[in-house]
Amino acid sequence: MTKKALTILSIFTLVVSLTSCNGGGDLADGYGNFEATETTVSAEANGKIQFLDVVEGNLLEKNEVVGVIDTIQLSLKRDQLKAAKQTIYSKSTNVLSQRDVLQEELQVAQNDKKRIESLIKENAATQKQLDDIQGKVRILQQQIKSVETQNAPIINEVKGIEVQIEQIEDQIAKSIVKSPLDGTVLVKYAEPGEVAVFGRPLFKMANLDEMELRVYISEAQLPNIKIGQSVTVKIDDVDSMRSYEGTVSWISASAEFTPKIIQTKEERVNLVYAVKIKVKNDGSLKIGMPAEMWIANQSI
């Protein structure tokens, strides 16, 4: 049932309750229907549904794996990218090997340069020998820079492939269908063997441990209710009514018009305000179930 339909049903319940009780008996302070935050779980990947282990009414835990969408093509694409990455890495290895050889030669040349500088101080070497070794050091340094420049595009190519692999792995992860919260399966929309497309609803669930009762009160009742206030919620039972403790969690900031079917002066309230009340569910409360709100504990 849509929220719009629930709203209409709530207001209709308000009308019927008021008209039926007119002239006798204590009246509740508000009438409405129970709601719950419903979450629709949709496919985040394209492919055939391998399995979808959800049954309407079943309880699911948060992050529980309940389904898998075919990931064969994604896995093959990931393997292909990993192979390409290794091939490119081999090119980089060859380039880096050349750099390592040049760095070894540079280290030897720099050691020779130090020895020649020491010999010059003792007049045991010539300036030409120092100039020659300095020239060799500069040449080796330029060669190393040249090799590293050749390796830069290879490294960038590897990084590009790594990004693609991460994207594929993200898609594979999204092919695993998980429960987004602790809750109860309300509706199942798909079956194993069917083809899922991105955004297609698979199932709908809600946490029913705590329900919300949406009721409507008149403007005159607003001063008597506030957020966080404890109220009594009552539902029909076999012989009488069953009571629950509730807490006001939300009060609408704007008013809504009541149906024109309300005719008497006492019942003709031009504006009503929506109020939400959180109620701990013992298993008896259901979505759409009508209920009453009593601001003070009153006997029926």
Is pTM beyond 0.75 here? Answer: no
Would you write out the chain's pLDDT as a tens digit for each of its 300 residues? 444 444 444 444 444 444 333 333 468 899 999 999 999 999 999 999 999 999 999 999 999 999 999 999 999 999 999 999 888 878 777 777 778 888 888 899 899 889 888 888 888 888 888 888 888 889 888 888 887 777 778 888 888 999 999 999 999 999 999 999 999 999 999 999 999 999 999 999 999 999 999 998 888 888 889 999 999 999 998 888 999 999 999 999 888 876 554 445 555 556 788 999 999 999 999 999 999 999 975 443
Q: Are 288 and 9 in contact (CB under 8 A)?
A: yes
Ramachandran assignment for 293, one of left (phi > 0), alpha (psi -120 to 50 degrees), beta (any other) = beta
The C-alpha atoms of residue 191 and residue 205 are separated, in whole angstroms, by 16
Question: Is residue 208 a contact partner of residue 285, using CB atoms and an 8 Å limit?
Answer: yes
> Residue 22's pLDDT is what?
37
So what's the pLDDT on residue 26?
Answer: 67
Residue with structure tokens 């979450």? 39
Assess contact for 28 and 232: CB atoms under 8 A. Answer: no
Q: Is 67 helix (H, G, I), strand (E, B) or coil?
A: strand
Tokens 């003792």 label which residue? 122
**pLDDT at residue 15 in the model:** 42
The residue written with tokens 């129970």 in the block is 34
Query: Could you give the CA distance from residue 235 to residue 24 in angstroms, rounded to a whole number?
Result: 20
Written as one letter, the residue type at 59 is L
Tell me how long the chain is: 300
Cα–Cα distance measured from residue 203 to residue 152, given in angstroms and rounded to the nearest whole number: 49
pLDDT of amino acid 21: 36
